Amino acid sequence: MALRDLNIIGNGSLGSFTALALVKMARAFGWRLKLFDFDTVEPKNARNQLYREEDAGAPKTEALAALLRHLGAADAAVMPVPGRVNRATPLHGIVVVTVDNMKARREAFEAAKYRADVSLFVDARSGGDGAMVYALDPRDPDQVRRYEETLYEDEEAIPAPCADERTIPTIFAIAAAIARILALYANGGLHSFIEILLNFEKLPIISGKEYKED
């Protein structure tokens, strides 16, 4: 069967662990993972990202693709796409955004918005022990409007702790939430704007809300 593109934009802490979950699911759902990132692996990334110390110096997209083929399947459909994503980047299929700043998030959304062949847009935002995950059909004007209301300038953001070894439980939970959203979508169980809140400050709290337009 023809594979469907599943674009993962941002291959850092959240993106790399999310990609691991999704490559394990890819064969069942017919996905081809496309990995977008402009950065290279640093030795410190081995502390809280999927990478190994020996990956240092390699483009994150290339290193992650190799790891996913090793941990998923040797013939896994994984395509590294090094470089930055902007509004002119051609995207198709499903888009999952795991970047750490609003500018990159906006650029990814502009590339996906109102494209006939992009049917699902997932945006995960993490900071310390908390996170938000949004999922929507970027072709639907009402869902686009609701999502754009969540966007703001980077200068307006409240400073949050950077991801490190202590945030790994939160990162895995976010990756699981994204994976579940994509499974629901693939099985026809997702029809409206979704918002998921994760709070790992103390005992884990995960809550979700579905916004059905009138």
Burial 70-93 (b: 16+ CB within 10 A, else e): eebeeebbbebbeeebeeebebbb
- Per-residue pLDDT tens digits of the chain, which is 214 residues long: 689 999 999 999 999 999 999 999 999 999 999 999 999 999 999 999 999 999 999 999 999 999 999 998 888 899 999 999 999 999 999 999 999 999 999 999 999 999 999 999 999 999 889 999 999 999 999 999 999 999 988 666 566 666 788 899 999 999 999 999 999 999 998 989 999 999 999 999 999 999 987 6
Q: Are 146 and 160 in contact (CB under 8 A)?
A: no
Which pLDDT does position 196 carry in this prediction? Answer: 98
Domain total of the chain: 1
State how far the alpha carbon of 9 is from the alpha carbons of 16, 75, 112, in Å.
Answer: 10, 22, 12
Which pLDDT does position 119 carry in this prediction? Answer: 97
Strands 193-199, 130-136: pairing is: antiparallel
CATH code for the domain of 104: 3.40.50.720
| Domain span holding position 137 | 4-211
Burial zone of 139 (CB within 10 Å; 0-12 exposed, 13-18 middle, 19+ buried): middle
State how far the alpha carbon of 49 is from the alpha carbons of 71, 98, 164, in Å.
Answer: 14, 13, 9
Which pLDDT does position 103 carry in this prediction? Answer: 95
Which pLDDT does position 153 carry in this prediction? Answer: 82
For 173, residues 6+ apart whose C-beta sits below 8 A from its C-beta are 131, 198, 200, 204, 206
